[in-house]
Chains A and B, each alone.
Chain A
Amino acid sequence: MGFPHESHQRETAVLSQHFGVAEARTLDGWKKRGGYQALEKALAMAPADIVTVIKDSGLRGRGGAGFPTGMKWSFMKPGDGKPHYLCCNADESEPGTFKDRELMRWTPHALVEGCAIGAYAIGAETAYIYIRGEFTEPLYFMEQAVKEAYAAGIIGKNAMGTGKRIDVHVHKGAGAYICGEETALMNSLEGRRGNPRIKPPFPAVSGLFGMPTTINNVETLIAAAPILMKGADWYKKMSLSNPKSTGTKLYSVCGNVQRPGTYEVVMGFPFREFLYDLCGGPVSGRKFKAVIPGGVSVPIQSMEEAEASLMDYEGFVEQGSMLGSGGVIVIDDAQSMVRVIARIARFFAHESCAQCTQCREGTAWATKILERIRDGQGAMEDLDTLMDISENMTGKTICVLSDSCATPIVSGIEKFRSEFESLIQGRKFHPVLAAVA
């Protein structure tokens, strides 16, 4: 639903149907709404069968990587004698993205249930929910929900009376975007600096505490329950376009739109209609100029590209960007693209963990150049330097924070070069005059 606005009739509210309903946060309220039936069903199935259903459904990681979830779960070898771990990645820090926050503060039990199902499916007895430290409400409601679930015997050493052990712990982060990277998350959980690890080894082989581990996004885990209840076919059939992308996706819409909020639509939904109809279009007197459909790490789209996009993994790629986390940042013609991109670069420079040379130095260098251009002190060769730095920052580091910093810079210079050149040539940025209402 277009929370906090009225649900739009073209939305398909599966995960978000209870947003804004305080009662749904409680165990009783959740049970009234069908909660924990999926977990009960799951605990009566063989883990391998659960994995098959999820594989069939085509569910893909909703955190941004889009990796097929069923396949990820199948990497956890049963019977290896080692403790398995499930980590729920609730570190949501990708600018433009705030869907997990809504999921956790409105339907915390959905996540407890999702974690329990996921843990069971991968042979784990312990699940950690790593929540970023700034998420005061989600932390509170998740702790409450976990407490309630333990008290009711839904989780714990005898989950729902099946004799199986499922422990769920909330772990509070302390302010680092990079801890949303799965291996950095594990390091942070272990009590280390949030440095990403070199892969291989992959988490399913050697992850948390050196043991086989699966890391899933909040939305991904929550989606497991309805899939188990309603079946893989139901989930697949919802997709409007491509069978490679199935089910629904939560989109966090922010920026210069009439109705920012969290929307849930089926895969393949036309982006133009999404922006102008569901989200209400631009604010009075303004026109859209650019869109970043999946959080600041994906390429910026021109409106031409955005309006031609279908909202799924392949659709956005075809139009010069990526679905990413589904954080839709809408930029209108009052904004300076250079200012926006400079601030994005500053974000990445702040968040670099400092391991890799290109990221540690490159993010800060790019930021300084962009701010210089923004402030009217740029030169034409700065654009070449920025493109070159961006190339050096791509594909050469332990994780992709470096690439993520380069992406908006490259797409920004490619698609909005005139704004950069204007500032360099000494013409200050003037927002387009607003049309009279």
Chain B
Amino acid sequence: MINLTIEGRPISVAEGTTILEAAKQVGVLIPHYCYHPGLPVAGVCRMCLVEVEKAPKLAPSCATTVAEGQVVHVHSEKSLDARKGVLEMLLINHPLDCPICDQSGECELQDYTFQEGREDSRYREPKRFNPVEDFGGDVVYVPNRCILCTRCVRFMDDVAEDPVLNVSERGDRALIGKFEGKDLTHAWAANVIDLCPVGALLSKDFLNKARAWELDRAASVCPNCTQGCNVIMETRENQLVRMRPRANEFVNAFFMCDWGRLNYRWMNEKDRVDQPMLRQNGALVVAEWEEAIAAAARLLKGKRVFVVASPMLSNESLFLLTQIMQGGSGTFRVMEGDEAPLPGVEDLALRRERAANVYGAEALGFRKSRDPLAGLGKGDVLIIAGEDLDGIDAAAMRGAGETIVIGSVMPHGVEGPAVVLPIANFSEEEGTVTNLRGRVQRFTQARQAPGLSRPSWLVLGDLLGAIGKQSSFFLPSQVFDQLAATNKKFAGLSYDTLGFKGLPIAGEPNKQKTAIAVGAA
């Protein structure tokens, strides 16, 4: 262990730790641009220069390892002057078009300039100009704003292992370039947008859609495949406008794939069932919640239950469904697509199975099937939970006794369900899902569900109570606690212990794939 002092705070770190990472551990953030814990060190932006006592020159803290007895000053006059100088230099050719730049409000150039930069500009010369370029995929490049930190190039080179970006030209003519006809079509390319500290690399999808400070944010998990990348769901006026990755060293490092990232619109679905309904005289009429729940409970009494569930449902909801169907059986189906790994991170890929909770569904006793209605017995009560049955042959449902729909949309081909209970979709409630490696992760509510829709766990808990089984769930954590108490695999876990990086179920290893020090973006 090496002992040193940073900004007056003593610290002991492993040999080989950089000054910048050591500083994070004592709560000192050294401003930087080109450094990123998920990328190889470049040391080019020169923003992270710090004063080290007895050293002749300022040290680039991202590229300098700690030494015994070092005394480091991050906010001394020399360090502040050096940073002020870098900021001034970065701004001389920068267009200062914050009013029309998407990055405004989440721009590190803005942030540090406001914190430590000059109030004025001494630059009197014409600014460099290059036209905007379409880099392909979801990415637009605005060279005039580029600070040449090269994070994007290093990401594509070393993490995506698809070197389609370069630094072209030399000196102040330099800009990020690519080769004609070879675009950013890599399945993970859009991460360069997050990595870019300024508004040089922008998302076409998000272009001019919202201001960063208008967004509400919720910590969640990407529901679009079984990898379970941690995300931030961002909404404006209750509409999801963006999903961005959240760092998790056990799952997705700092990244998420383009498919997941851009596939959020389905959660803004419009054609909702948002009121409880009962079939009366052959037609569905709106009912009170208590009425509808009671009606459903009556239907279930003494009957065999067959559940077709969605693998997008939370562990909590799937667990409650198994309690409701006790003795019966449950199936689910899952969409599939091509796997697309991110080679630079261990065990990280866009997975073939395109839903969040396949592992949870199977662990809780649901059977994966391409034909989820096969096995439906004549006279069974069919519960369709969260599934839209798109593409499923409706004829298979005719054998059912009665059908109860518990969902956010009316499933295709369902003729005359007896009861419809409207629930929140993935973005509108809280719960946990389990990824393909058995990691249980919490997701939180990002949007308000429409109309009279209720969280799925609440509805199912009430239904469970109405059929005479014990329940009094007021929080999803309580449902989870019950699940953990009942199912050996989930034993010992709780919302408190899960936190926001999750934990594996019993028997699965808790393997960290990458190092993420405190404060990593």
Name A residues whose Cβ lies closer than 8 Å to a Cβ of B: 176, 193, 198, 349-358, 360-365, 368-369, 372, 381, 385, 391-392, 395-398
Contacts and interface: CB of A to CB of B under 8 A. Distances in A.
Interface string B150-186: 0000000000000000010111111000000000000
Given A365-B125, A392-B89, A356 B172 contact: no
Interface in B52-105: 56-58, 60, 63, 82, 85-86, 88-90, 92-93
B275 to A, nearest CB: 59
B167 A354 contact: yes
Contacts of B125: 365, 368-369, 372
Contact of B58 (A353, A362, A395, A398): A395
A361 B89 contact: yes
Contacts of A355: 42, 44, 148
B462 to A, nearest CB: 60
Given A361-B93, A362-B89, A396-B58, A354 B169 contact: yes
A332 B327 CA distance: 103
A357 B171 contact: no
A396 B92 contact: no
> Which 6 residue pairs across A and B have the least CB separation, nearest first?
A392-B85, A354-B174, A364-B172, A361-B89, A352-B171, A368-B125
Interface in B19-55: 41-47, 49
A397 B93 CA distance: 19
A395 B124 CA distance: 25
24 contacts: A198-B63, A351-B170, A352-B171, A354-B170, A354-B171, A354-B172, A354-B173, A356-B45, A357-B47, A357-B86, A357-B147, A358-B89, A360-B171, A363-B171, A364-B171, A365-B123, A365-B125, A372-B124, A392-B82, A392-B86, A396-B46, A396-B49, A398-B43, A398-B44
Contacts of A356: 44-46
Given A198-B63, A358-B89, A396-B46, 10 more contacts: A198-B60, A351-B171, A352-B172, A354-B169, A354-B174, A360-B89, A361-B92, A372-B124, A381-B122, A396-B58
Given A198-B43, A392-B85, A353 B90 contact: no
A358 B46 contact: yes
A255 to B, nearest CB: 26
Nearest to A194: B170
A357 B514 CA distance: 29
Interface residues of B, number: 34
B171 A350 contact: yes
Contacts of A363: 171-172
Contacts of B171: 349-354, 360, 363-364
Contacts of B173: 354
A235 B148 CA distance: 48
Contacts of B123: 365
A360 B148 CA distance: 10
A397 B46 contact: yes
Contacts of B60: 198
A437 B50 CA distance: 59
A395 B49 CA distance: 11
A356 B89 CA distance: 10
A355 B47 CA distance: 12
A388 B167 CA distance: 29
Given A176-B170, A396-B82, A357 B45 contact: yes
| Residue of B82, B85, B90, B148 contacting most chain A CB atoms (<10 Å) | B85
Interface in B169-212: 169-174
Nearest to B62: A198
Contact of B85 (A353, A354, A358, A369): A358
A173 to B, nearest CB: 14
Interface string B252-283: 00000000000000000000000000000000
Interface in B324-378: none
Given A354-B172, A392-B82, A361 B90 contact: yes
Interface in B296-320: none
Contact of A396 (B41, B42, B85, B172): B85
B122 A385 contact: yes
A365 B173 CA distance: 12
Contacts of B58: 395-396
A357 B92 CA distance: 11
| Residue of A193, A352, A364 contacting most chain B CB atoms (<10 Å) | A364
Contacts of A396: 46, 49, 57-58, 82, 85
Contacts of B86: 357-358, 392
A385 B174 CA distance: 24
Nearest to A352: B171
Interface string B117-128: 000001111000
A373 B341 CA distance: 56
A396 B43 CA distance: 11
A373 to B, nearest CB: 11
Contacts of A350: 170-171
A278 B49 CA distance: 47
A381 B42 CA distance: 35
